[in-house]
C-alpha cells in the first residue's frame, strides 16, 4: 500500500492582541514576558517607580495603623525589615529563571534570603527579558472596564504621578484613556488588611495595628502584646517582638478552645485559642479562660482582595473574599479571555504558578489554546463552589490551594505544552513546610534536604548554561 506523506498539523498563526497588564510585581513581570513571547503587544502599568511589587520594602507605614480609612495614603508593601523568604530560593523562583545564589559578595547568598535579594532577582528577571521597556512607571490605573457592548475591548484609564518627595505622592488629574483588547490583572493582594472582629473592641483602651503596618519591633519594648493569627507573618513577628516585649500572646483560630501553651524556647510567649472578648479595663479574655491585660493588639489576620479600579458591571465581584466567578482561578467566564487574573491563589508557591497562569492566558489570547464555552466554564465554576460547600469550606478559602497547588500547576502546564512542576520542587516544598512547622526559629538556616538541592541545581543547568 502506498503511504501518502501527510504534512504535520499546523497551528493557526497566533493572533497578536493589545494587552494591558496592571502591576509590575512578580505576576505582572512574568505575564508581560509570556504575553510578549506569544506575540502580543503589551503595556504594563505600575504605580511605583520600580519593578518588584510587594518585594520593594518601604520603611514608611500608613498613617492609620489599622488601614481602615479608605482615603488614606496607601503603602503597597507589607514587608517588615527583618523578613527573609519562607520558601527556599530553589522552590521559590520561576521555573525557567532559577533563583540561584549569585556569586557576588553584595548579594544575599542564603538559601532563604532577605527581602532585598528577592527584589534584586525580580529586577534581574526584568532586565534579562527586557520587560522594563514595556512598563509605564509612576502610573496608576484608575479604571479598567469593558467598552460598552463590546467585551472584546477594554478601556484603561490611568494617571501619571506628578510628585514624589518621599512623603507625599500624588497622581495627576490628567487621565489617559486607551483601548485594549484584553486586561490582565496583577495588582497583588497583600495591601488591603483584614481586621479581626473582636467583641468589646470599641471600648478597649489599648493600641491596635495590622501587620501590614509593622516594620520593626520599635514601640513594643516592655509592652504586653497580643498577636491575632498564626500564619507566616505572625510566626516571624511574634518571635521578633518577644525579644523586647514583656509578654507576647499569640491567638489562633486553628487550635482547640482549651489551648494555652508556653512557646518552646521562650518564657514570655504563649499560644492561646481565640479571643472571647476585650474590655474597657484593658483586659483580653481568651476562650481558654485566661485573662491578660494588654497594651497592644497586632492583627496578623491577612488581607482582602481589592480591585478599586475594576468595573465589570457586576460580572466579577468580591464576595466574602471570593473573587468570582472565575474559571480555574483566572478567567471570568462571561468576559473570557479578555479579562484575566494572575496570582489570586493562596497557600501556593507563587512565582511558578504565576508563570503557568500567564502562559495559559497568553496562549488563549493568541488562539493557540482553546477555552471551553462560557456556559461550560460557568458550569465548572458552579461545580467547584458546590464542592467547597459540600466540604464546609468557607467562601474566603476559594483561592486557597493548600493540598492541591501542584495538581493545579500541572493542569495549567498541560495545554501550554510545557513541563509541569518538578518532582524535586514538590518534595522540597513539603520538606521546607514540615521543617518550618517543627522548627520555626531555625528552619531558614538548618535543613536536611541537600540531596534535593543538588537535584534542583542539576535541573537548573538547563537554564543557566
Ligand atoms: P505584588 O508584588 O503586590 O505586585 C502588584 C503590583 O501592582 C505592585 O507593584 C503595585 O504597585 C501594582 N499596582 C497595584 N495597583 C495598581 C494600580 N491601580 N495601578 C498600577 N499599579 C498598581 N512569596 C514567596 O514566594 N515567598 C515568600 O517568602 C513570601 N513571603 C511573603 C511575605 C509577606 C509579608 C507577604 C505580604 C507576601 C509574601 N509572599 C511570599 C507572597 C508575595 O506576595 C508573592 O511572592 C508575590 O510577590 C506577589 O506578586 P504580585 O505580582 O501578585 O503582587
CB 192 within 8 A of CB 304: yes
441 Cβ contact list (under 8 Å, min separation 6)? 239, 265
CB 87 within 8 A of CB 429: yes
Using pLDDT thresholds of 50, 70 and 90, give the confidence band for residue 164: low
261-287 tens-digit pLDDT? 999 999 999 999 999 999 999 999 999
Ligand 1 atom nearest residue 349's Cα: 25
Is the confidence at residue 136, as pLDDT, over 50?
yes
Ligand 1 binding pocket mutation candidate from 139, 187, 213 (most atoms within 8 A of CB): 187
pLDDT, greater one: 207 or 14: 207
CA of 148 to the centre of ligand 1 (A): 31
- pLDDT at residue number 9: 56
Tell me the mean pLDDT in the region 318-345: 97
Sign of the alpha-carbon dihedral angle for 16, 22, 24, 26: negative
CA of 351 to the centre of ligand 1 (A): 10
**Closest protein CA for atom 30 of ligand 1:** 85
CB 61 within 8 A of CB 75: yes
CA of 286 to the centre of ligand 1 (A): 33
Q: Could you give the C-alpha distances from 348 to 2, 17, 81, 191, 407, in angstroms and in order?
A: 54, 30, 23, 18, 11
Across all residues in the chain, what is the average pLDDT?
A: 94
- Grid cell, residue 295, equals 497594651
Using pLDDT thresholds of 50, 70 and 90, give the confidence band for residue 14: confident
- Grid cell, residue 133, equals 521597556
- pLDDT at residue number 285: 98
- pLDDT at residue number 1: 45
Tell me the mean pLDDT in the region 168-176: 70
Q: How far apart are CA 417 and CA 330, in angstroms?
A: 18
Is the confidence at residue 168, as pLDDT, over 90?
no
Least confident of 112-116, 288-292, 348-352, 460-464: 460-464
Q: Which residues line ligand 1 (CB under 6 A)?
A: 22-28, 45-48, 53-55, 76, 78-79, 85-87, 92, 140-141, 186-188, 190, 233, 309, 343, 350-351
**Closest protein CA for atom 14 of ligand 1:** 187
Segment (H or E) for 382: helix 374-390
Q: How far apart are CA 222 and CA 271, in angstroms?
A: 19
Instruction: Quote the ipTM score.
Output: 0.99
Ligand 1 binding pocket mutation candidate from 20, 22, 25 (most atoms within 8 A of CB): 25
CA of 295 to the centre of ligand 1 (A): 31
Using pLDDT thresholds of 50, 70 and 90, give the confidence band for residue 8: low
Q: How far apart are CA 218 and CA 241, in angstroms?
A: 9
52-75 tens-digit pLDDT? 999 999 999 999 999 999 899 999
Tell me the mean pLDDT in the region 442-462: 96
Burial of 107 (0-12, 13-18, 19+ CB in 10 A): middle
Comparing CA positions, the residue from 104, 92, 308 lying closest to residue 187 is 308
- pLDDT at residue number 174: 72
Q: How far apart are CA 72 and CA 74, in angstroms?
A: 6
Ligand 1 atom nearest residue 233's Cα: 34
Q: How far apart are CA 202 and CA 310, in angstroms?
A: 33
Ligand 1 binding pocket mutation candidate from 54, 115, 210, 238 (most atoms within 8 A of CB): 54
Q: How far apart are CA 325 and CA 223, in angstroms?
A: 45
Tell me the mean pLDDT in the region 409-431: 97
Size of the chain in residues = 465
Question: Rounded to a whole number, what is the distance in angstroms from the first to the last CA of the chain?
Answer: 48
CA of 257 to the centre of ligand 1 (A): 34
- Grid cell, residue 172, equals 495627576
Strand pairing class (41-45; 18-22): parallel
Please identify which residue in the block is written with the cell numbers 520542587. 425
CA of 281 to the centre of ligand 1 (A): 39
Is the confidence at residue 110, as pLDDT, over 80?
yes
- pLDDT at residue number 2: 45
Using pLDDT thresholds of 50, 70 and 90, give the confidence band for residue 6: low
**Closest protein CA for atom 46 of ligand 1:** 26
Tell me the mean pLDDT in the region 101-117: 96
Q: What does the DSSP 8-state code read for residue 314? A: T
- pLDDT at residue number 162: 77
- pLDDT at residue number 381: 98
CA of 101 to the centre of ligand 1 (A): 22
Is the confidence at residue 289, as pLDDT, over 90?
yes
CA of 189 to the centre of ligand 1 (A): 7
Is the confidence at residue 223, as pLDDT, over 90?
yes
Ligand 1 binding pocket mutation candidate from 188, 346, 358 (most atoms within 8 A of CB): 188
- pLDDT at residue number 173: 62
349-375 tens-digit pLDDT? 999 999 999 999 999 999 999 999 999
Comparing CA positions, the residue from 237, 274, 277, 281 lying closest to residue 259 is 274
φ, ψ of residue 440 to 5 degrees: the values are: -60, -25
79-90 tens-digit pLDDT? 999 999 999 999
Ligand 1 binding pocket mutation candidate from 23, 61, 358, 440 (most atoms within 8 A of CB): 23
**Closest protein CA for atom 28 of ligand 1:** 85
Segment (H or E) for 171: strand 169-180
Amino acid at each position: 500500500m502506498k503511504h501518502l506523506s501527510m504534512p504535520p498539523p499546523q497551528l493557526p498563526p497566533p493572533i497578536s492582541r493589545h494587552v494591558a497588564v496592571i502591576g509590575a510585581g512578580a505576576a505582572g513581570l512574568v505575564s508581560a514576558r509570556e504575553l510578549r513571547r506569544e506575540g502580543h503587544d503589551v503595556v504594563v502599568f505600575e504605580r511605583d517607580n520600580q519593578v518588584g511589587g510587594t518585594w520593594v520594602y518601604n520603611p514608611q507605614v500608613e498613617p492609620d495603623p489599622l488601614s481602615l480609612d479608605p482615603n488614606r495614603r496607601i503603602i503597597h508593601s507589607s514587608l517588615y525589615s527583618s523578613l527573609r523568604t519562607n520558601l527556599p530560593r530553589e522552590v521559590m523562583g520561576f521555573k525557567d529563571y532559577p533563583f540561584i545564589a549569585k556569586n557576588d559578595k553584595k548579594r544575599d547568598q542564603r538559601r532563604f534570603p532577605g527581602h532585598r535579594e528577592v527584589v534584586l532577582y525580580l529586577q534581574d528577571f526584568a532586565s534579562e527579558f527586557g520587560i522594563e521597556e514595556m512598563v509605564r512607571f509612576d502610573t496608576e490605573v484608575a479604571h479598567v472596564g469593558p467598552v460598552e457592548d463590546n467585551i472584546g475591548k477594554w478601556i484603561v484609564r490611568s494617571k501619571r504621578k506628578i510628585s514624589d518627595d518621599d512623603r507625599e505622592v500624588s497622581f495627576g488629574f490628567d487621565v489617559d484613556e486607551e483601548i485594549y483588547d484584553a486586561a490582565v490583572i496583577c495588582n497583588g493582594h497583600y495591601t488591603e488588611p483584614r481586621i479581626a472582629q473582636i467583641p468589646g473592641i470599641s471600648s478597649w483602651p489599648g493600641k491596635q495595628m495590622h501587620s501590614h503596618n509593622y516594620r520593626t519591633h520599635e514601640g513594643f519594648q516592655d509592652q504586653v502584646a497580643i498577636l491575632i493569627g498564626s500564619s507566616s507573618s505572625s510566626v516571624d513577628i511574634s518571635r521578633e517582638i518577644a525579644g523586647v516585649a514583656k509578654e507576647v500572646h499569640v491567638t489562633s483560630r486553628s487550635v482547640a478552645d482549651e489551648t494555652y501553651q508556653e512557646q518552646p524556647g521562650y518564657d514570655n510567649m504563649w499560644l492561646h485559642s481565640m479571643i472571647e472578648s476585650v474590655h474597657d479595663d484593658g483586659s483580653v479574655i481568651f476562650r481558654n479562660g485566661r485573662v491578660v491585660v494588654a497594651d497592644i493588639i497586632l492583627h496578623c489576620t491577612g488581607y482582602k482582595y481589592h480591585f478599586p479600579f475594576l468595573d465589570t458591571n457586576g460580572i466579577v465581584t468580591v464576595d466574602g473574599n471570593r473573587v468570582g466567578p472565575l474559571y480555574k482561578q483566572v478567567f471570568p467566564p462571561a468576559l473570557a479571555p479578555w479579562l484575566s487574573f494572575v496570582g489570586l491563589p493562596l497557600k501556593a508557591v507563587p512565582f511558578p504558578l504565576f508563570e503557568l497562569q500567564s502562559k495559559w492566558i497568553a496562549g488563549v489570547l493568541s488562539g493557540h489554546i482553546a477555552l471551553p464555552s462560557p456556559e461550560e466554564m460557568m458550569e465548572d465554576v458552579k461545580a467547584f463552589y458546590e464542592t467547597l460547600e459540600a466540604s464546609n469550606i468557607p467562601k474566603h478559602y476559594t483561592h486557597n490551594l493548600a493540598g492541591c497547588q501542584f495538581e493545579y500547576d500541572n493542569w495549567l502546564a498541560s495545554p501550554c505544552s510545557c513541563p509541569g512542576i518538578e518532582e524535586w520542587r514538590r518534595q522540597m516544598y513539603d520538606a521546607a513546610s514540615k521543617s518550618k512547622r517543627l522548627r520555626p526559629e531555625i528552619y531558614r538556616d538548618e535543613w536536611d534536604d541537600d540531596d534535593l538541592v543538588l537535584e534542583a541545581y542539576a535541573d537548573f543547568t538547563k537554564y543557566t548554561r
